[in-house]
């Protein structure tokens, strides 16, 4: 009898009620003792394993659980601790582990960056801090624990050596191979010890196999996995890829491993095509990622069964493992508790636990024939159909508009040179104008007041009065500081996406749909479930009120279409470009409303433009074209004297500079201070013709910058940028900062700007 196996790649850490987050934060705050904390974390972790077992998963991942981040876990397993932190060898203590992640008074935290094209952030390992040694066989520890305590024969999960080094810093790119080779013996030892312990399956994650790779890198994979195979020939390694199709399919499936894990959801059909045209080695197992590990929609089990059947024509059933497309880290835990959601919508959702059930069902269908899962298939189809046909999802008018997009102008009336003239006349700004990025401190008082209002303990009117008082306070502060362009401060917003999602049609919000973003920080992405449209003005009241209090121009503040899309769970029955254009058309109405109400500067933030970049280079231009078009659709229906700003908070620009230019924003403000001059360098090589504001101080720390420091940043920028096009602003919004430090820092910034003007 053939037995098809079900598997999982990773389970959310945070817990159904974010108990993981709570325990962590209590421990950091010192209100939970270390022993209690460790015990609690163990309980959480074991309960997750038990859950997967109860759902009927055969290969349960162990070691994917983390107290902060799995990349950091891998780094500390190799003793990679910078001497900024206290560490004297051996297993890295818990305290040190958190110091690396969060920093200490005297030592900055390790850098953090996005995990591929997700909104999860990992800690960037520093390889120049120590010679790697294996200080702890972490996967072995987790394997043994699962076996001892729950009698679970786990599948250890390890981040593979090539991806690990690729994601790290502190070495020369030309030495990539050499550095990877340093780690290979350590990985060999891990696998050897697992083999001795009797482990059958190991999942070695190499997601960079789904990115664009060079020939040398493919050759490196061959050598590395040959060595590992020789070191532990009896253990069954599944080389796991996800988030896109496998590059260099033919070379990679030949590697001496026992299984290859492929993503059949986010591969644009390419993995199945490769499988059909090149076949699959007879001696290997195919771990088929069939349930979407990144999105929250219930799977159409009929369609998924068909895909599995197509796969089974090439790979015999007993060599297929059914699993999600990636770790379930990127989705919330369970739909079960979402009692307030509309029934039709709820029925069409699937979070981690529900996805495990889908995996198990599909496994059964593949093993016993689809008849065995007929009922489940039918009910999934019905649920999805119901949502698709629901009036909640469909707005004919929006759909028609999207069909006729060509009727909407997506290019400003006049070129920048001309617009600049009209705007210059209208605003009469000094050279090197100063401004901020939008938000002012969201103090605990602001947040508390919002909460009381949400609970119904404060009337709408009372809340409005409170927000207006905050706006007024900060308009006065901006006058006193002497800034040139003001903002209203964003006090009414919890979050830059949620705020707009709540006001636009087509969005829904869950109660418990949290996912880990970094460390203990969780986000609750809105669900774009239906056609998006403008209902009523979203920012007019606050902006117009702010403008009424001052003669200085007030900049309206919107979140851009691609950022709203990238930070939401989007429907999967419509292309992403159609969704983003719907959002853009809705925002366009807001821009128009601002203009009609006398606001002539609007900033459309796109901080998430870069993170949506596809894994594969050849897909970049299509993504960027879509993003640029949506931005222009949002911002092009206005008069020449409307000054459109945009903001992005990262500084690696060189490779997307053409797209940035194509946005044709009148002013762009970008983060600079953490880029150590790299950004300036990018502008040395590229001409940027519109105005640009470089962040002259870092807002991520409470530190008030020194005058010389800000001056140095301004002068450095002025060496390459035309002073007539240059703006002065902080790196990003100030919502996470305290009031006093914000005022003090902005005063330094304004003083530095005045001094710079004198020198011109």
In angstroms, the CA 71 to CA 79 distance is 13
Residue 164 tokens read as 């690990």
Give the long-range contacts of residues 189-194, CB within 8 A, separation 24 or more. Answer: 189/134, 189/137, 189/231, 190/134, 190/137, 190/139, 190/140, 190/158, 191/228, 191/231, 191/232, 191/235, 191/237, 192/231, 192/232, 193/137, 193/140, 194/137, 194/139, 194/140, 194/143, 194/156, 194/232, 194/235
Q: Which stretch binds ligand GLN (CB under 6 A): 62-70, 309-317, 434-442, 750-758?
A: 434-442
In angstroms, the CA 181 to CA 224 distance is 7
**Angle, vertex CA 177, rays to CA 176 and CA 181, nearest 5:** 120
Q: Which does 496 bind (CB under 5 to 8 A by kind): Zn ion, ligand GLN, none?
A: ligand GLN
Q: Which does 129 bind (CB under 5 to 8 A by kind): Zn ion, ligand GLN, none?
A: none
Q: Which stretch binds ligand GLN (CB under 6 A): 191-199, 245-253, 431-439, 577-585?
A: 431-439
Q: Which does 756 bind (CB under 5 to 8 A by kind): Zn ion, ligand GLN, none?
A: none
Instruction: Give the residue numbers of the binding site for 5-methyltetrahydropteroyltri-L-glutamate.
Output: 18-21, 114, 521-522, 567, 611
727-746 binders of ligand GLN (CB under 6 A): 732-733, 735
Q: Which stretch binds ligand GLN (CB under 6 A): 28-36, 171-179, 312-320, 433-441?
A: 433-441
Dihedral over Cα of 238, 115, 611, 341: its sign = positive
Q: Which stretch binds ligand GLN (CB under 6 A): 66-74, 329-337, 436-444, 529-537?
A: 436-444
557 lies in the site for ligand GLN, by CB under 6 A: yes
* Residue 363 CB coordination number (10 Å): 25
User: Cβ closer to ligand GLN: 475 or 496?
Assistant: 496
637-666 binders of ligand GLN (CB under 6 A): 647, 649
Residue 616 tokens read as 């594969």
Residue number closest to Zn ion, CB atom = 649
- Strands of the sheet with 527-533, listed across from one edge: 505-508, 527-533, 569-570
* Residue 489 CB, nearest approach to ligand GLN (Å): 9
Report yes or no: 542 and 583 within 8 Å, Cβ to Cβ: no
Residue 589 tokens read as 């109405």
* Residue 644 CB, nearest approach to Zn ion (Å): 17
User: Cβ closer to ligand GLN: 51 or 647?
Assistant: 647
DSSP annotation of 419 reads: H
In angstroms, the CA 371 to CA 380 distance is 15
481 lies in the site for ligand GLN, by CB under 6 A: no
* Residue 439 CB, nearest approach to Zn ion (Å): 9
* Residue 109 CB, nearest approach to ligand GLN (Å): 19
Q: Which does 191 bind (CB under 5 to 8 A by kind): ligand GLN, Zn ion, none?
A: none
User: Cβ closer to Zn ion: 206 or 671?
Assistant: 671
Distance of CA 153 to the CA centre of its chain: 32
Residues 730-759, one symbol each (x = binds Zn ion by CB under 5 A, - = not), give: --x---------------------------
Residue number closest to ligand GLN, CB atom = 733
605 lies in the site for ligand GLN, by CB under 6 A: yes
* Residue 385 CB coordination number (10 Å): 12
* Residue 672 CB, nearest approach to Zn ion (Å): 11
Helix axes of 301-312 and 270-278: crossing angle, nearest 10 degrees? 20
700 is catalytic: yes
DSSP-assigned letters across all residues of 344-404? HHHHTB--HHHHHHHHHHHHHHHHH-GGGGHHHHHHHHHHHHHHHH-TTT--HHHHHHHHT
User: Cβ closer to Zn ion: 146 or 613?
Assistant: 613
Q: Which does 591 bind (CB under 5 to 8 A by kind): ligand GLN, Zn ion, none?
A: none
568-607 binders of Zn ion (CB under 5 A): 607
162-191 binders of ligand GLN (CB under 6 A): none
Q: Give the SS3 label for residue 258.
A: coil
User: Cβ closer to Zn ion: 324 or 695?
Assistant: 695
Instruction: Give the residue numbers of the binding site for L-homocysteine.
Output: 437-439, 490, 605
In angstroms, the CA 284 to CA 202 distance is 14
- Nearest in space to 524 (alpha carbons), one of 504, 490, 558, 494: 494
Report yes or no: 149 and 43 within 8 Å, Cβ to Cβ: no
Residues 604-633, one symbol each (x = binds Zn ion by CB under 5 A, - = not), give: ---x--------------------------
Q: Which does 735 bind (CB under 5 to 8 A by kind): ligand GLN, Zn ion, none?
A: ligand GLN
439 lies in the site for ligand GLN, by CB under 6 A: yes
496 lies in the site for ligand GLN, by CB under 6 A: yes
* Residue 495 CB, nearest approach to ligand GLN (Å): 9
488 lies in the site for ligand GLN, by CB under 6 A: no
* Residue 732 CB, nearest approach to ligand GLN (Å): 5
* Residue 437 CB, nearest approach to Zn ion (Å): 6
546 lies in the site for ligand GLN, by CB under 6 A: no
User: Cβ closer to Zn ion: 197 or 495?
Assistant: 495
561 lies in the site for ligand GLN, by CB under 6 A: no
Q: Give the SS3 label for residue 643.
A: strand
User: Cβ closer to ligand GLN: 55 or 606?
Assistant: 606
Distance of CA 213 to the CA centre of its chain: 22
Given 141, 229, 248, 700, the catalytic residue: 700
In angstroms, the CA 57 to CA 40 distance is 24
User: Cβ closer to Zn ion: 553 or 607?
Assistant: 607
Dihedral over Cα of 430, 433, 438, 444: its sign = negative
Instruction: Give the residue numbers of the binding site.
Output: 18-21, 114, 437-439, 490, 521-522, 567, 605, 611, 647, 649, 671, 732
What value does the CA radius of gyration of the chain take, rounded to a whole number of Å?
Answer: 27
User: Cβ closer to ligand GLN: 154 or 560?
Assistant: 560
* Residue 487 CB, nearest approach to ligand GLN (Å): 8
633-662 binders of Zn ion (CB under 5 A): 649
Listed in sequence order, the residues at least 6 apart from 120 whose beta carbon sits closer than 8 Å to its beta carbon are 114, 329, 330, 515, 516, 517, 518
* Residue 438 CB, nearest approach to ligand GLN (Å): 3
In angstroms, the CA 711 to CA 730 distance is 13
For the annotated catalytic residues, the residue numbers are 700
Residue ranges that bind Zn ion, judged by CB under 5 A: 607, 649, 732
Residue ranges that bind ligand GLN, judged by CB under 6 A: 437-439, 490, 496, 557, 605, 607, 647, 649, 732-733, 735
């Amino acid at each position: 009898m053939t037995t098809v196996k079900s598997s999982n790649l990773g389970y959310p850490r945070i817990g159904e009620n974010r108990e993981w987050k709570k325990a962590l934060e209590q421990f950091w705050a010192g209100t939970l003792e270390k022993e209690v904390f460790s015990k609690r974390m163990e309980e959480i972790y074991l309960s997750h394993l038990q859950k997967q077992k109860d759902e009927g998963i055969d290969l349960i991942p162990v070691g994917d659980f983390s107290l902060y981040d799995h990349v950091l876990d891998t780094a500390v397993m190799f003793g990679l601790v910078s001497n900024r932190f206290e560490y004297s060898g051996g297993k890295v203590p818990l305290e040190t582990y958190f110091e690396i992640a969060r920093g200490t008074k005297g030592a900055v935290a390790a850098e953090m960056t996005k995990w591929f094209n997700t909104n999860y952030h990992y800690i960037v390992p520093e390889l120049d801090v120590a010679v790697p040694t294996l200080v702890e066989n972490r996967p072995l520890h987790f394997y043994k624990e699962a076996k001892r305590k729950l009698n679970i024969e786990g599948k250890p999960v390890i981040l593979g050596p090539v991806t690990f080094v690729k994601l790290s810093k502190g070495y020369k790119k030309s030495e990539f191979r050499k550095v990877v080779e340093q780690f290979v013996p350590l990985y060999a030892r891990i696998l050897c010890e697992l083999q001795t312990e009797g482990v059958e399956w190991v999942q070695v994650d190499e997601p960079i196999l789904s990115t664009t790779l060079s020939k040398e890198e493919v050759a490196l994979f061959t050598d590395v996995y040959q060595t590992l195979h020789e070191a532990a020939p009896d253990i069954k390694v599944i080389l796991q890829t996800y988030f896109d199709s496998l590059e260099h399919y033919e070379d990679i499936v030949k590697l001496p491993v026992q299984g290859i894990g492929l993503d059949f959801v986010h591969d644009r059909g390419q993995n199945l095509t490769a499988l059909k045209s090149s076949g699959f080695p007879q001696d290997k197992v195919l771990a088929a990622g069939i349930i979407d590990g990144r999105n929250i929609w219930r799977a159409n089990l009929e369609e998924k069964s068909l895909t599995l059947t197509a796969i089974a024509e090439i790979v015999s059933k007993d060599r297929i493992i059914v699993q999600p497309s990636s770790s379930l880290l990127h989705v919330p835990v369970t739909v079960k508790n979402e009692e307030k959601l509309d029934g039709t919508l709820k029925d069409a959702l699937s979070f981690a636990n529900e996805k495990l059930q889908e995996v198990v069902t599909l496994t059964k269908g593949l093993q016993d024939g689809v008849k065995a899962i007929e009922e489940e298939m039918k009910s999934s189809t019905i649920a999805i159909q119901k949502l698709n046909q629901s009036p909640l999802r469909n707005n004919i008018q929006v759909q028609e508009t999207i069909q006729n997009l060509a009727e909407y102008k997506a290019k400003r009336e006049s070129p920048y040179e001309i617009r600049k003239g009209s705007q210059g006349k209208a605003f009469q700004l000094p050279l090197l104008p100063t401004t901020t990025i939008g938000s002012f401190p969201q103090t605990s008082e602001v947040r508390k007041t919002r909460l009381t209002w949400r609970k119904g303990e404060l009337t709408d009117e009372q809340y409005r009065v409170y927000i207006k008082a905050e706006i007024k306070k900060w308009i006065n502060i901006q006058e006193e500081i002497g800034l040139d362009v003001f903002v209203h401060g964003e006090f009414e917003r919890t979050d830059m996406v949620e705020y707009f999602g709540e006001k636009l049609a087509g969005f829904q919000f869950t109660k418990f749909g949290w996912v880990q973003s970094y460390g203990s920080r969780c986000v609750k992405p809105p669900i774009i479930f239906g056609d998006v449209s403008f209902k009523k003005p979203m920012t007019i009241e606050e902006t117009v009120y702010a403008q009424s209090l001052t003669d200085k121009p007030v900049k309206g503040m919107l979140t851009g279409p691609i950022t709203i899309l990238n930070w939401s769970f989007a429907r999967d029955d419509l292309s992403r470009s159609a969704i983003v254009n719907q959002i853009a058309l809705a925002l366009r109405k807001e821009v128009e409303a601002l203009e009609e109400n006398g606001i002539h500067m609007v900033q459309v933030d796109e901080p998430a433009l870069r993170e949506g970049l596809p894994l594969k280079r050849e897909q970049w231009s299509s993504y960027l074209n879509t993003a640029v078009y949506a931005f222009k659709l949002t911002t092009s229906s206005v008069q020449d004297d409307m000054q459109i700003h945009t903001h992005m908070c990262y500084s690696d620009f060189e490779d997307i500079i053409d797209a940035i230019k194509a946005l044709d924003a009148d002013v762009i403000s970008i983060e600079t201070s953490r880029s150590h001059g790299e950004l300036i360098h990018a502008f040395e090589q590229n001409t940027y013709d519109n105005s640009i504001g470089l962040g002259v101080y870092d807002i991520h720390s409470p530190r008030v910058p020194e005058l010389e420091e800000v001056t140095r940043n301004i002068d450095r920028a002025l060496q390459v940028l035309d002073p007539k096009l240059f703006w002065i602003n902080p790196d990003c919004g100030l919502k996470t900062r305290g009031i006093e430090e914000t005022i003090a820092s902005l005063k330094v910034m304004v003083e530095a700007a005045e001094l710079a003007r004198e020198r011109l």
